Copies of this chain bind each other. A is one copy, B any other.
Amino acid sequence: MRIGIIGSGIIGQLLGSKLVSLGHDVILGTRDPNDLHSKKGAPGDPAPSLAEWLQEGGKMAQVATFSEAAAHGEILINATSGMVSLQALALAGSENLAGKILMDTSNALDFSRGGSPVCLATDQEGGSVGVRIQQAFPDTKVVKALNTTGSQIIVNPLLLADGDHTVLLCGNDPGAKEIVSELLRSFGWRDIFDLGDITAAHGMEMMTALWLRSWQQNGYRPCNWKLVR
């Protein structure tokens, strides 16, 4: 499939590399595709430069603008920080998003108050980032997924406990959730739990503060939550 990724930090790069390895035709969208040597992503993002990425996991992919990536993809992925997602998706262009599935992996974490991160999703009238994206792009099928765990395992869930842990998703379109689920299964995810419509993005984004703390207390080793039911 043709996949367009909006955002070139660690999550965009990891997803891009994985999708390339699975045979997909990937364009990674970045704010300034002529600048391949700066650090991308939010402050502290551990991703290598795009020049390095294009030598490694991304060598079968292309780097382009947000709008070029969005125009290319049959399926789109938002891999930007939730703090800037609406702005980045506006640059990608609503005409390039219309009618398509957008997997939203974003979190809006504010570390500015010190201590535990505040999940901004809960501070704003508009609700979660996922809901605000769906509202801003009503012709796009937004599916929230992969925001509740760490970059170490999102594309390699089998690295932890042989994959015996859960990935969550939510969204308004059942068909879009099924296609995203297929993509997740191709990564190795076995336990996919559907939280219902896009309003569940609220809880998924709030989860991130706990995930970060759990990961820290686990010595920054891979960990994830399993919904036992």
Residues of A within 8 A of B (CB): 115-116, 118-119, 122-123, 127, 148, 160-161, 164-165, 168, 193-196, 199-200, 202-204, 206-207, 209-214, 216-218, 221-229
- In whole angstroms, how far apart are the Cα atoms of A6 and B102 in the complex? 47
B217 and A210 within 8 A (CB): no
Main secondary structure of the interface of A (DSSP, over half): mixed
Given contacts A199-B115, A207-B206, A226-B228, contact A193 B165 (CB under 8 A): no
The interface residues of chain B lying within 8 Å CB-to-CB of A210 are 148, 168, 203-204, 206-207
Assess A209 versus B214: contact at CB under 8 Å? Given A122-B118, A223-B227: no
A163 nearest CB neighbor, chain B only: B228
Report whether A193 and B206 are in contact in the complex, using a CB–CB cutoff of 8 Å: no
